A and B are shown apart, each in its own frame.
Chain A
Amino acid sequence: MKVKILLASVFSSALLMTSCSDAWLEEYKLDQNRPADVPMNVLLPAAQASYGMMQGDVLPRLSCIFMQQMTGNDRQSLAHNRYAQIGEGDFDSPWGLAYAGGMYDLKLVMDKATEKEAYSYRGIAKIMTAMYLGVLTDHFGDIPYSAALQGADNLRSTYDSQESIYGSIAVLLQEGLADLATPSSVSPGSDDLIHGGDLSAWATTATALGARYLNHLSKTSSYNAANVIAACQAALQGSVGAGLAFESSSNQNPWYQFTVIDRDGYIIQTGTMFDMMEASSDPREMIYRGDSASGYFYLPFYGAATAEVPIITEHEVLYILAEAQLASGDAGAARASLEAAIQSNMDHLGVDAAASAAYIAALPSTTDEELIMNEKYVAMYTHVEAWTDWRRTGYPMISAPADANLSDIPRRMPYPEGEYLYNADNVPMPLSSSPDDKFGATSTFRLWWDAN
């Protein structure tokens, strides 16, 4: 009897404890170090920082070497001069910063903004997604988008054609502009690291980006110079200029981190572009690379600790305008736009007025595509646009070094290793492709807008 009472009491108290245990365990279920959900105003700056690193770190170091605006001087960078030691694994970083970093976060911002009717956040998120897609597609061609960013629901995303990615960019920019114009329940402020919550600046940026991506179609049948001119003129109504700034003692500009802190001596600021600048006594040379005593290891302007990674600039839009005006047959307007572009760039760099005036005065009198594109090439130093422009127009006229690993200068980047390892069925190019194919040195694997 006593046994039964005892056992009953022990078991009943145990059962009571068991029934409470779920709630007790539940209190500790979540990681207290990391939130399970966060608001838009911490996702947006994270997505912007990732964008800055994607646009400003691995990719432009390669394309600037391809474009002979810089020269590899040590270790892997030395091999990059010959297009060697560039592997699929090198692109996991920018690809991850985009898809697993900023683009996923922007997708969350869009979802939250829709729910909260915070249309200004949604508009910025759409414009930034277009920025990501633009950089990625101009490097890789076909990329995942419509089936991407779905997490556990789809771990193996299919790829969209570059043509449809360009369509998505246009849609995202248009929708972004529409959202910016819609009354918003809440709007970003200092959490917007690019424009500090200035929605009209975002609208200008979106319009300018629209001009850039329309202009990229110059080799395709859908190119329409009038549309490009209209977009440029619309953008220039505002004050064009977007970039991501950096800090001085840590979190510095990626060029600064590479050339000063982590990889001192890997690259050097020499090459065809600097030869051209020396030939034309370009006043920007000192600003770009300092004097010879520095060894040309550093970038005093674009690689200063706090220097911006430029997203889009007024001079870029003016160059686009000049190119489109020339294409539409208006050489006079093109000349004016070109000179305005040079002036704008030199002002941006802090060249004194006399020097810039002298430089413009010394320009060849004939305004042709080569002149515009060669000038733009110098102005777009450190930016991937120089490579895109070369692929579109063939200017400046440069060729691969004699000892290169490829038959020609690369016209695309190989897909990342992570895609080949874990999403191989969907990658549009076989892993076994020849190096020439991977880098688009053969016409077969050129990007859609570069196809002919």
Chain B
Amino acid sequence: MKRSLNLLSLGLAMCFSVSLWAQTVTGKVTDANSGEALPSVSVMVASSGAGAITDFNGLYTIRANNGDVLKFASLGYDSQELKVSGSSLNVALTASLSKLDEVVVTALGFSRDKKSVGFAIENVDGSRISNSGESNIVSGISAKVSGVQVTNSSGAAGAASYIKIRGNATFTSNDNQPLMVVDGVPIDNSQIGTEDLRAGVAYSNRAIDINPDDIESISVLKGGAAAALYGTRGANGVILITTKKGGYGQDFQVSVSSSYEVSEVNKLPQTQKTYSQGYYGDYYGGTSNPFSWGPALSTLGVDANGDITQDSSAAVRWGAPSYDNVGDFFRRGLRRNNSVTVSGGGQRSSYYLSVSNLADEGIIPTNRFDRTTIRLTGSGQITSNLKATASLSYSNSGGYRVQQGSNTSGMMLGLLRTPPSFDNSAGYENADGTQRNYRAGGGYDNPYWTINKNPFTDNVNRVFGYTQLEWAPMDNLFINYRYGLDNYSDVRKQILAKYSRTLPQGSITDEMYSVMETNHDLTARYAKDFGKISTSVLVGFNANQRNRKSVTGYGLGLVIPDFYNMSNATDQFAYESNVGRRLWGMYGEAQVGYDDFLFLTGTMRRDQASTFGNVSTPIVYPSISLGLVVSDMINMDNDFLTYFKLRASSAKVGSEPAFGSNATYFNQASAGSGWINGIGFPFLGQTGFSQSNTLGNPELRPEYAITNEVGAEMRFLKDRIFMDVTLYDQRSEDLIIAVPVAASSGFTSSYINAGSMSNKGIEMQLNGDLVKSDDLRVNAGMTFTRNRNTVIKLADGVDVIGLPWGFFGANQRLVEGEAYGTLYGDDWLRDDAGNAMVDEFGYPVYSSTEVVVGNPNPDYLMGITTNVDYKNFSFNMLWDIREGGDIWNGTRGALYYFGTHYDTEMTPEGVMRGESFVWHDVVAGNSGVYAPGTTIDGVDVSGQANTTQIIHDIDTYAGGPLSGFTGASRPFIEDGSWVRLRQIGMSYRFEDKVLEGSFLKGLTLSVTGRNLYLSTPYRGVDPETNLSGATNSQGADYFNMPNTRGVIFGLKANL
């Protein structure tokens, strides 16, 4: 690294010997009607693409030469182009009928006129993210951008959100989430798990460290051509975040933003409150009996001690109490978010400073997430043509998290399994320190025990930012050097108290992660117009290094109660991990424009990566894109279709192999069998290493994704209606797989380039001003996303690759011809017509063969927005629609076994507990047919329709095949479609004249409802949920934490 830094400075020093040109142009942009200053206006040098944005006071500063054309563009205003003459240029913009001449931020942070872009790119204004009230910017993007799917893994405070652009581009060797870039600097967005992600706690994805109030705008680069310059890391698209900055000459300004959200659980599985612990007519309260198949509470008595009894001689009164354990457990969540921003600028300098604090007390008692951020950005002219910028964000985040999922200490697991005859809240700890729960200390943790006694705390300290030198040594030439840094430590402590069900001897896990990423980027850009032809050429270099180190101490067997230091553990273990990778890339881009209606862009990138067997192996891939503004080409003068642009692009993007696959290493030895843990080294005081069972491959080639994309952008009715449609076809090739091999070779798998996968889809945006007058503006918009993923090929001799975090009976797989992550599970035995086979007792016949049972990928996604501005009132609404996307409701399956699900009291068809009914197959929609060879009363009924009655009681569920534990998983695969009102809000902006004379320069008050309405056929918690969080394995619900809805009261003021 040092070496390349020296080289960079050498290169720069050599350049300094050249004389200096160009000048700084400043000015103010105002509204042509009102004369008010216009903030956030894009200012761009047309020839070079160099850009600036006006500050709160409408002021801008940009480097340009006399004669250059500056382009001013802002949402809702007509763009203007003006020639530079002198160092000052003021502009008044006229309000337009629709948002038109947008300037978009493209790869590497360059602003480009949207008109000239030949690929799909979508911008989201920062205020739309911060107004969503989400503390995680990924969640803030939900339903706002076409082609993007966001999944919040749960409503736990600090829980991760998963984002995917245009489906999955790779199998398992890399993340399928897009690259996150802040002001040109890639940042880490990983979700690090301490435990198996099916259990443990709800971890954060690290984009949560960004303060949403710092965001000026987000630009989503969706396809290969858009992201091609990011190289291997842009293969899944890029989320480009531009932060707010101060402006030259800007007055000192203070903004304050404050919001309070009150939230509650939005949806829970329905439980029964009628039947007691026990089975077969007998009450077994507070015993190891796990079931709620006991007598009705109304038939039980209460004895002199207040305990429930079935003994009539002991009962002092009849009718046992029913405890609403689930309803009583959750609390009101309270989220407070406060931020203060200070910005301004001198003649040749600017600064931006923000401080924010988030305190999120979740709906689960004790669960909380806190975040404090500080961001400082300053820039100044060193000389008239050399600008330096430095930006640094510090964030401290972390919380108190609660055990979840498939985990006997999981909060929901213990909560939902508790019979209504047992009161969890009447104490979770016995006098002797043992646990009080409904199973006499066995089974699962009392939810109050786990939230109080098993804390998981994390504390992340993170610094990310950059320093940048922008130099214009001569006319039309711009040189930019940027050093980007992202560094955080994550200190975690997980405690499982003694007598916790997961580990009755108790344990402590102390983890320390250190994550570091650095980037050096050097770019040179030259732009020049020749008559009607405009050209620009860019060359760039990137050196990237990523490190992740972790040290874990694990203490097992705690002796002193409630003392959680490693010294208290009878057995202590330590683990270490280091992952490091480097990437070296060169890239170039050439743009040619003709007469402002035809634009052709070509890019080429060449990467070398440390994860190849031969690091000299270059990955080279090109892209080409074309934008044709038909309406300008033919001078179309048409009031109906006012603007019509076609675009087409084709791109190839490569990815390097996963870390550690380029060689065959030696692993710390272990020997197990799946039946028992076996042996792990160190063993008997010795260190042991064994050759890895996976053959590394130094010959691995890059994976490639080839995207072809066409799109059209249209505006109708004098630009009042805007429409954008994109069709794409992406094919991933040479995907790297660890293919299984016969163990007799000495190995069990071997890395090869083999797989291929396809994503095809359509994205659409529609937006229009329905009403537009001086006082009233009604705008409606829609985004539509549809992606079809197909795994085309795995490898010769490989039929299935399982994704991590599955269960037997419900797991996500890659299978040829199916979509990524298709749910596999067990089903009933079926005849050729698909009818379930039923036995002589009326029960469906179980088949252990796992088959396709669902597809977790949605059919389509839709977001519908409405904005109404009336005078100073503003109203907005965002509907989020998801059609399809199957989820395994493993929670319901388990609760059928235990008898706590409401269906065990009364089925959706109205069958009460104890009544008889004929089993119904949800798949074929009938009652099945008798299996071959079935005889009833001596008559062979094979193939006939099933009419045998079964009883709605324990023998059918825990004792029969109709629970998730005892039969097929197929009946528990549910449709995860939804229609939700993701956001509804109202705000009022005080008139300037009202504030006149006060210290306030602006004041806006708002009330926003978040997730207030949800309509879904899904029968568990909110279907926007995923057991393993932000991972490639989606569509699993096994005692997932519930989601929330809330009302946010907000205030924004300028001082």
Contact with A along B262-295 (1 / 0, CB 8 A): 0000000000000000000000000000000000
State in angstroms the CA–CA spacing of A150 and B584 once bound together.
Answer: 35
Which residues does chain A contribute within 8 Å of B579, judged by CB atoms?
31-33
Contact with A along B6-46 (1 / 0, CB 8 A): 01101100110011000000000000000000000000000
List 4 extra interface pairs beyond A58-B673, A250-B677, A423-B745, CB under 8 A: A28-B582, A30-B665, A151-B745, A254-B676
Can you list the 9 inter-chain pairs with the closest CB atoms, starting with the nearest? Answer: A13-B11, A423-B742, A46-B669, A34-B665, A46-B688, A28-B610, A257-B676, A144-B744, A25-B615
B745 in complex: contacting residue of A108, A150, A245, CB < 8 Å: A150
State in angstroms the CA–CA spacing of A99 and B15 once bound together.
Answer: 61
Decide yes or no: A190 and B610 within 8 Å by CB, A13-B8, A57-B675, A254-B676 being known contacts.
no
Decide yes or no: A416 and B687 within 8 Å by CB, A10-B479, A25-B608, A96-B748 being known contacts.
no
Q: Determine if A148 and B676 form an interchain contact, defined as CB atoms under 8 angstroms apart.
A: no
B689 in complex: contacting residue of A21, A22, A38, A416, CB < 8 Å: A38
Closest A residue to B698 by beta carbon equals: A29
Q: Determine if B570 and A99 form an interchain contact, defined as CB atoms under 8 angstroms apart.
A: no
B546 to chain A, nearest CB (A): 9
Which residues does chain A contribute within 8 Å of B543, judged by CB atoms?
17, 21, 24
Decide yes or no: A31 and B665 within 8 Å by CB, A25-B610, A42-B687, A249-B570 being known contacts.
yes
Determine whether B938 belongs to the interface, using a CB cutoff of 8 Å to chain A: no
Closest A residue to B10 by beta carbon equals: A13
Determine whether B861 belongs to the interface, using a CB cutoff of 8 Å to chain A: no
Determine whether A398 belongs to the interface, using a CB cutoff of 8 Å to chain B: no
Q: Determine if B677 and A257 form an interchain contact, defined as CB atoms under 8 angstroms apart.
A: yes
Residue pairs across A and B with CB atoms within 8 Å: the count is 278
Determine whether A53 belongs to the interface, using a CB cutoff of 8 Å to chain B: yes
Q: Determine if A18 and B586 form an interchain contact, defined as CB atoms under 8 angstroms apart.
A: yes
Contact with A along B664-697 (1 / 0, CB 8 A): 1111010111111111110111111111110100
Determine whether A115 belongs to the interface, using a CB cutoff of 8 Å to chain B: no
State in angstroms the CA–CA spacing of A20 and B584 once bound together.
Answer: 10
Q: Determine if A45 and B750 form an interchain contact, defined as CB atoms under 8 angstroms apart.
A: no
State in angstroms the CA–CA spacing of A250 and B526 once bound together.
Answer: 66
State in angstroms the CA–CA spacing of A105 and B690 once bound together.
Answer: 6
Q: Determine if A93 and B660 form an interchain contact, defined as CB atoms under 8 angstroms apart.
A: no
Determine whether B849 belongs to the interface, using a CB cutoff of 8 Å to chain A: no
Which residues does chain A contribute within 8 Å of B685, judged by CB atoms?
190
B615 in complex: contacting residue of A29, A43, A45, A263, CB < 8 Å: A29
Which residues does chain B contribute within 8 Å of A263, judged by CB atoms?
675-676
Determine whether A353 belongs to the interface, using a CB cutoff of 8 Å to chain B: no
Q: Determine if B746 and A422 form an interchain contact, defined as CB atoms under 8 angstroms apart.
A: no
Contact with B along A1-23 (1 / 0, CB 8 A): 01101110111111011101110
Chain B contributes a number of interface residues (CB within 8 A of A) equal to 86
Q: Determine if B748 and A100 form an interchain contact, defined as CB atoms under 8 angstroms apart.
A: yes
Decide yes or no: A22 and B678 within 8 Å by CB, A10-B539, A156-B742 being known contacts.
no
A196 to chain B, nearest CB (A): 10
Chain A contributes a number of interface residues (CB within 8 A of B) equal to 92
Determine whether B743 belongs to the interface, using a CB cutoff of 8 Å to chain A: yes
Q: Determine if A258 and B4 form an interchain contact, defined as CB atoms under 8 angstroms apart.
A: no
Which residues does chain B contribute within 8 Å of A6, judged by CB atoms?
15, 18, 473-474, 477, 524
Q: Determine if A151 and B747 form an interchain contact, defined as CB atoms under 8 angstroms apart.
A: yes
Binding site of A, secondary structure by majority: helix, strand, loop or mixed? Answer: helix
Q: Determine if A17 and B541 form an interchain contact, defined as CB atoms under 8 angstroms apart.
A: yes
Q: Determine if B578 and A32 form an interchain contact, defined as CB atoms under 8 angstroms apart.
A: yes
Determine whether A103 belongs to the interface, using a CB cutoff of 8 Å to chain B: yes
Closest B residue to A254 by beta carbon equals: B676
Determine whether A180 belongs to the interface, using a CB cutoff of 8 Å to chain B: no
Determine whether A78 belongs to the interface, using a CB cutoff of 8 Å to chain B: no
Q: Which of A253-297 contact B (CB under 8 A)?
A: 254, 257-258, 261-263
Determine whether A421 belongs to the interface, using a CB cutoff of 8 Å to chain B: yes
State in angstroms the CA–CA spacing of A257 and B479 once bound together.
Answer: 66
Q: Which of B577-591 contact A (CB under 8 A)?
A: 577-584, 586
State in angstroms the CA–CA spacing of A52 and B673 once bound together.
Answer: 12
Q: Determine if A418 and B690 form an interchain contact, defined as CB atoms under 8 angstroms apart.
A: no
State in angstroms the CA–CA spacing of A417 and B608 once bound together.
Answer: 39
Determine whether B609 belongs to the interface, using a CB cutoff of 8 Å to chain A: yes
B680 in complex: contacting residue of A17, A42, A108, A251, CB < 8 Å: A251
What are 19 of the A-B contact pairs (CB < 8 Å)?
Answer: A3-B526, A6-B474, A6-B477, A11-B539, A12-B11, A24-B1, A28-B580, A28-B581, A31-B665, A35-B665, A36-B666, A42-B666, A50-B669, A50-B690, A98-B743, A99-B745, A108-B691, A151-B664, A246-B684
Which has the most chain A C-beta neighbours within 10 Å: B579, B746, B797? B746
Determine whether A152 belongs to the interface, using a CB cutoff of 8 Å to chain B: yes
Which residues does chain B contribute within 8 Å of A35, judged by CB atoms?
665-666, 689
Determine whether A26 belongs to the interface, using a CB cutoff of 8 Å to chain B: yes
Determine whether A95 belongs to the interface, using a CB cutoff of 8 Å to chain B: yes
Q: Determine if A100 and B19 form an interchain contact, defined as CB atoms under 8 angstroms apart.
A: no
Determine whether B662 belongs to the interface, using a CB cutoff of 8 Å to chain A: yes
Closest A residue to B664 by beta carbon equals: A151
Q: Determine if B743 and A95 form an interchain contact, defined as CB atoms under 8 angstroms apart.
A: yes
Q: Determine if A46 and B693 form an interchain contact, defined as CB atoms under 8 angstroms apart.
A: no
Which residues does chain A contribute within 8 Å of B479, judged by CB atoms?
10
A121 to chain B, nearest CB (A): 15
Which residues does chain B contribute within 8 Å of A108, judged by CB atoms?
691
